[in-house]
Amino acid sequence: MKPYSTFGIVGFPWDGGASLGRPGSRFAPEKIREAFAWFANRIENNQVYNVEKRKTFTLPKNALTDYGNIEIAAYSTDQTFAQAEAKLKAVLADHAFPFVLGGDHSISYPLIKALHDQNPGKRIGIIQFDAHLDLVDESPVQGRFSQSSQMRRAIELEHVSAKDIVQVGVRSYNYPWYATYLKDIGIHQITAQEVHQSDPLAIAEQIKSVMENVDLVYLTYDMDVLDPAYAPGVGANEPGGLTPVQSFAILDALYPLVDAFDIAEVNPLYDHQDITTAMAARIMFDCFVARMECGENAQT
């Protein structure tokens, strides 16, 4: 597992790509930070105890760095995305593990591009947890850089192949052109129904097998991959999603592979009692401990 100097938090308060979904995710980064502090409060003397694993984890000093928010140019998607690329490249240059708090799901494209461009010639794999496919090319309403297009744009990068992408939790109905398009590009999909019918660790193994030949892995987690019962505050609700327990188990098996992570589509304006925000913060804290723990000091 690649060592990192720190766990680098970056806020991306942007919902300019929410052309069909509900806007409001620009308010998520600060809400997630607040919820994350609830978990971080349990750290004492650089140690934290995981009740479910019955294990105490020791964290290095200065394990957590908040790099602040990406500067937003509300009038320009191009300028905002360019500033996002520059910010993430600076975090990567600092040898930090980048954890980005969105923001609607359009945020992923400039972040994936930053990881791609910062590592010339490296093959980039993408793991996408999402109810939706986000492979729309463009439309008169949404343009080319909406929350429905970030994966389509990512595939256009030189060292990103559809065959190195896994979409987890996709479900419901979509445009009829997808039937042919998905067969042609060869993207890997594990539907929500397939997750429900399998074991989470078996699902994780499927994902790992796709990532075997890539150099770097980007993981993007759209909160609507969860069933609306567990994550009501998102850009669009799709019934039949994953449970938190399924999600935690799959993610836990994947954290050692991941080189950058974003959470998208937390929408505080549609949340109830901060349920969705708390879920996002728990995932963030799990990733933080997994990537920053001093393995040799872990105690059972």
187 alpha carbon, distance to own chain's centre:
18
pLDDT, one tens digit per residue, over 257-286 is: 999 999 999 999 999 999 999 999 999 999
Residue 140 pLDDT class (50, 70, 90 cuts): confident
Distances (CA, A) of 89 to 83, 93, 174: 10, 6, 34
Instruction: Tell whether 134 is in a known binding site.
Output: yes
Q: What is the pLDDT of residue 225?
A: 98
Residue 295 pLDDT class (50, 70, 90 cuts): very low
Helix (H, G, I), strand (E, B) or coil at 225: helix
Instruction: Give yes or no for residue 20 having a pLDDT over 90.
Output: no
β-strands 160-170, 96-102 pairing: unpaired
Contact by Cβ (8 Å): 38, 281: yes
265: left (phi over 0), alpha (psi -120 to 50) or beta: left
- Residues whose CB is less than 8 angstroms from the CB of residue 209 and which lie 6 or more positions away in sequence, other chains included: none
Query: The tokens of 160 are what?
Result: 């990103």
Instruction: Tell whether 132 is in a known binding site.
Output: yes
Q: What is the pLDDT of residue 136?
A: 87
Instruction: Tell whether 272 is in a known binding site.
Output: no
The conformation of residue 39, written as its DSSP 8-state character, comes to: H
Distances (CA, A) of 270 to 20, 78, 203, 260: 15, 28, 30, 27
Instruction: Tell whether 78 is in a known binding site.
Output: no
Where exactly are the structural domains of the chain?
6-297
Architecture, CATH, for domain 6-297: 3-Layer(aba) Sandwich (3.40)
256 alpha carbon, distance to own chain's centre:
15
Instruction: Tell whether 94 is in a known binding site.
Output: no
d(CA 133, CA 148): 7
Of 40-44, 82-86, 296-300, the one with minimum mean pLDDT is 296-300
pLDDT, one tens digit per residue, over 205-232 is: 999 999 999 999 999 999 999 999 999 9
The helix-helix angle for 244-254 and 275-292 (nearest 10°) equals 20
Instruction: Tell whether 222 is in a known binding site.
Output: yes
Q: What is the pLDDT of residue 299?
A: 41
Q: What is the mean pLDDT of the chain?
A: 94
Q: What is the pLDDT of residue 294?
A: 59
Q: What is the pLDDT of residue 300?
A: 38
pLDDT, one tens digit per residue, over 164-191 is: 999 999 999 999 999 999 999 999 999 9
Instruction: Give yes or no for residue 145 having a pLDDT over 80.
Output: no
Q: What is the pLDDT of residue 297?
A: 38
- State the maximum Cα–Cα separation within the chain, in Å, rounded to a whole number: 56
Q: What is the pLDDT of residue 38?
A: 96
